[in-house]
Amino acid sequence: MAVSGFEGFEKRLELHFSGDDPAGLGLRRLSFESLEEVLQAVQCTVVAAVGNHYFDSYVLSESSLFVYPSKIIIKTCGTTQLLKSVAPLIDHANNLGLTLSGCRYTRGSFIFPMAQPYPHTSFRDEVVFLEESLPASLCFRKATVMNSQKLSSHSWHVFTASDEPRMDPNMAEELYTIEVCMTELDCVLARKFFRRPNDGKSGDAAGKEMTEITGIGDINPNAIICDFAFDPCGYSMNGIDGDQYSTIHVTPEDGYSYASFECVGSVYDGGLLAEMLKKVAQVFRPAKMSVSTTTCAGPEVWSRVKGALEPLGLKCRGCAVDEFPATGTVVFQAFTTRRK
């Protein structure tokens, strides 16, 4: 918990592994006890879970965890020490015969940076910690702070490391990852993420109610949603749709309200990305919204972002673009609007 309020901006870590696994389960063979051990180092716990044929999804006390056969994604908020998960995850994977082949760490600018513990005290400290935690085989590395020219107060921090300079041709290059950060949420809509005092409901039941009354369930109607409402306020959900995930986290308090949306999809989604972004913006009506798009495809995906949001009154105030080894292009766009 930050001194002035809860830190909504998440830290996100994505690790890729390689190795032979006849059963095809890979990292999904990690025991729940092993995952709990990793999360204990990060300082968070599992509050809900759901899985399908492709991957396992966990809602955490501080955001989300996704476990695929060959990759794991952890996203945590507050004052969690996310990067302390790197070493134990590598060890657990090695015990399964898997070797780390790629790492990507991303985050926005913290609302309360002075409240963050080491190694999250600065991006420099985070990069040094990662450099020391990763094996030497991941020799293609890059760290960048991306700023939109007109909104320098908010930046996007990206670190990548890989054992190859280019993406594996066997990987699906048509995929994209969208990471959305929203602040200054509409105060009326944000109130929907507060629980009624003594409502007598479990976090699961209250979460389902919030999913319904806010319209979050309509963002991707095909997704199976695992949701949770915190007491007295706050909300998290993971959605699973085949081999693709989505996730939302909300810190609704006045003065430092924040919401995030993240999803992975295909560039050939027929406009699904644009429709989801429109619905997300309508659920929260933020005054400020940043969108980071990571893809090996062309500019089609991030151009759709601007086309989806500007008709809603969110004007693109700045854009930054950079290339990362074996990761592709990262495009950071910042949008703002004025309340009437």
Give catalytic residues, as residue numbers.
Answer: 7, 10, 63, 77, 236, 249
Q: Which two tokens stand for residue 203?
A: 């976090």
Query: 112-150 b/e with 16+ CB inside 10 Å = b?
Result: beebbeebbeebeebbebbeebbeeebebbbbbebbbee
**SS3 sequence, the chain?**
CCCCCCCCCCEEEEEEEECCCCCCCHHHHCCHHHHHHHHHHHCCCEEEEEECCCCEEEEECCEEEEECCCEEEEEECCCCCHHHHHHHHHHHHHHCCCEEEEEEEEECCCCCHHHCCCCCCCHHHHHHHHHHHCCCCCCEEEEEEEEECCEEEEEEEEEEEECCCCCCCCCCCCEEEEEEEEECCCHHHHHHHECCCCCCCCHHHHHHHHHHHHCHHHCCCCCEEEEEECCCECEEEEEEECCEEEEEEEECCCCCCEEEEEEEEECCCCCHHHHHHHHHHHHHCCCEEEEEEEECCCCHHHHHHHHHHHHHCCEEEEEEEEEECCCEEEEEEEEECCCC
Strands 328-336 and 315-324: antiparallel
d(CA 112, CA 128): 21
d(CA 204, CA 130): 35
